[in-house]
């Protein structure tokens, strides 16, 4: 997966750093990818209110998210999850374009927002345009 896709996804998930998932004490969970703490997760957890889409309708729910000790840990965990989880096999295979990557993530169930792929592809393409302009 291109690094620009990962950075764009972190930007999208965290609202460009303005909506980070916080621990109970207000400190950063460093979870800029919005990765939930599934039953197999044995690390720290941050429990926060979030919006989930159920049958296409937005609902506020409390959910548990993974908490990390640094952004480096978050990026490593994300890379490990995307590359080793069978659920995301097609995502990696279709990461040749922003749209293919974003649609693959949505199809694999990464997010419940029905517009997730469209929104993420837009952020990826914007990020790539900025990178090209600065090159």
Give me the active site residues, please.
52, 77
CA atoms of 46 and 36, how far apart (whole Å)? 9
Tell me the helices (H) and strands (E) count for the chain, helix number first: 5, 2
Q: Which residues pair with 14 in a beta bridge?
A: none
Residue 132: partners with Cβ closer than 8 Å, 6 or more residues away? none
DSSP 22: B
């Amino acid at each position: 997966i291109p690094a620009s896709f990962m950075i764009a996804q972190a930007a999208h998930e965290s609202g460009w750093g303005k909506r980070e998932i916080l621990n109970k004490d207000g400190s950063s969970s460093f979870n800029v990818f919005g990765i939930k703490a599934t039953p197999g997760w044995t690390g720290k957890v941050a429990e926060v209110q979030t919006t989930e889409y159920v049958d296409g309708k937005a609902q506020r729910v409390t959910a548990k998210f993974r908490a990390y000790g640094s952004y480096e840990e978050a990026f490593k965990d994300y890379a490990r999850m995307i590359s080793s989880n069978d659920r995301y096999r097609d995502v990696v295979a279709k990461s040749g374009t922003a749209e293919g990557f974003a649609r693959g993530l949505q199809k694999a169930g990464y997010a419940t927002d029905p517009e997730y792929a469209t929104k993420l592809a837009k952020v990826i393409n914007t990020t790539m345009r900025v990178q090209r302009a600065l090159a």
